[in-house]
Amino acid sequence: MDRRDFLKAVPAAALGMPLAAPAVKQAAAQRAPTRSETLLLVQEYGPNSMDMQGIGASQPVNGVAQNCYDRLVRFKRMPVDGVTTGFDITQLEPELAESWQEASDGTSVTFKLRADARFHSGRPVSARDVKWSLDRAVSIGGFATTQMRAGSLEKPEQFVAVDDKTFRVDFLRRDKLTMPNLAVTIPFVFDSEKAIANAGGDVWAKDYLKNNICGGGAYKVDAWRPGTETVYSRFDDWKSGPLPQLRRVIARDIASPSTRRALIERGDADISYQIPPKDFADLVAAGKLKVSAMPVPNAIWYLALNSALPPFNNVKLRQAVAWAMPYEQILQGALFGRGVPMWGGPATPARLSWPVPFPYAANMERARALMAESGAAPFSTTLIYDAGGATITEPMAVLIKEALAPLGITVELNKIPGANFRGELNKKTAPMAINRFGGWLDWPDYFFFWNYHGNNSIFNIPSYQNPVMDRMIDAARFAPDAATYATNVRGFLELGMQDVPFIPIVQPFHDVAMQQNIGGYQFWPSREPDFRYLTKG
């Protein structure tokens, strides 16, 4: 080999020669992530799909959407304490859209897209991609379509690609939830050309997108092993925010809570959530880890009573159960104090927000009196709960079973596997169910729209139907002034307390434990980790 051939064969860096700028960038991208650029997250279970808009997507799929896709806008981040950054739901900031302008007549909003935004495939992001993505969200059905409808985003005709970098949303009506709803997890933007090319004739590429990322977010998925782990790598050409510090994230699925706790305590894992309340209370007391404990906005643990079917279509019976509930025992015995009590409030709500404490408390004398008024004879019934969260739901169920026995109500407990629990709830045939719901948009009318409205969404677990309730929820959602809004919110809160198809128990904390060198923890409505802001010292 002569000298010229040798110089061709040996990398320039090995000879001490300067690299051209593109080569430097390429070399940095190819370099293996260092320990400080790699995060190990341990969680109870991971995503069952790569497509949050798809039917049956589990909770962790929100995290996939958050990190691997962009939306037009996001909520403005706001410091909460020294550990946690939250958000202001009334303020938006750019993500894929660099700017936007609402029409002077209030009938539309026009977005200008970032000129330099690209998908993981290298394609520039266009307004056609945004239209296809939002058309899909309002058309695919299930949770995605219902979530879009909550902000009056209902028809493909509302979405207009004006030109390559200009996108318009035409409003069906004035709705304060429309703009915030564009910042939640669901209305993310796909690389539509890539999706369509791999769709196999399916107009929305459901099978392909269930198993493949097709976006332009800050992270790509390098490996997805359902039930084992999901491995993410940073997209170094991301333009919708500051480039994240973390280059690699390993989200490992570990069903055993004791194993997750041991990993985070020993320092073998960097961050963990879905930790049982008892373990988290112990970790807080030990003081060795950095912890975030956010009361989840718009959220409650509750007992649902099927108001569409006997025997719980009897309002007096539902009130009797509400007075018999062992609230304090549940907070301490199942949640180890990790929550805000939602019982013992005034009959008239003290504030026009959600959640707000209901006026019930443990009072067996009142429970027995209402049981007698209901005319219900002693009976047997079934209570379902999620085995996936059994460290919380099982002691809850046992305590409720014991508390209702003195009323002559014999409760059979039915533990449903976590993968099947949402489907079982959606059948709406269970007489009683323990569940937790957290609305993404923190307004009381938003929660009541999902859970109490006669449109009978998938989250209206009791199948509660009351036209008076519907009128007040709708009037609050589209109220023209503050006084009208307040009147209707007060009205539907009081009616919810009276009819009590849901018995609120606790507003839960979202507990996250992390090593002391982890910073930038961001809490979003979806409650999934956002890798874009996390740092590792």
Average pLDDT per block of 10 residues along the chain, 537 residues long: 37 38 53 92 94 92 97 97 94 98 97 98 98 98 91 97 98 94 97 98 97 98 97 98 98 93 96 90 93 94 98 98 98 96 94 95 98 97 92 96 98 92 92 94 94 92 97 94 97 98 96 97 95 96
Cis peptide preceding 311, ω within 30 of 0: yes
Q: Name the residue type at position 208.
A: Y
Give the number of other Cβ atoms within 10 Å of residue 323's Cβ.
22
pLDDT the model gives residue 74:
98
Closest CA to 182 of 115, 130, 217, 107: 130
Burial of 136 (0-12, 13-18, 19+ CB in 10 A): buried
Instruction: Encode burial over 349-382: b for 16+ CB neighbours within 10 A, e otherwise.
Output: beebebbbbbbbbbeeebbbebbeebebeeeebe
- Output the CA–CA distances (angstroms, integers) from residue 26 to 9, 23, 35, 240, in the order listed: 18, 5, 20, 21
**Residue 391: what pLDDT?**
87
The Cα–Cα gap between 4 and 21 comes to 23
- For residue 153, count CB atoms less than 10 angstroms from its CB and return exposed for 0-12, middle for 13-18, buried for 19 or more: buried
Centre a 10 Å sphere on the Cβ of residue 191 and count the other Cβ atoms it contains: 24
**3-class SS of residue 74:** strand
Q: Of the candidates 97, 39, 38, which has an alpha carbon nearest to the alpha carbon of residue 72? A: 97
* Tokens found for residue 12: 């320039």
Helix 444-451 / helix 467-477 crossing angle, nearest 10 deg: 140
Pairing of strands 73-79, 271-273: unpaired
Q: Is the peptide bond before 359 cis (omega within 30 degrees of 0)?
A: no
Torsion sign across C-alpha atoms 16, 19, 25, 27: negative
Residue showing tokens 């007096």:
316
Task: Tell me the HSE value of 162 on the side-chain side, using a 13 A CA sphere.
Answer: 12
The predicted pLDDT at position 26 comes to 55
267: left (phi over 0), alpha (psi -120 to 50) or beta: left
Domains defined along the chain, listed by start: 35-253+515-536 (3.40.190.10), 300-509 (3.10.105.10)
**What is the pTM for the complete model shown?**
0.86
User: What pLDDT score was predicted for residue 298?
Assistant: 95
Residues present in the chain in total: 537
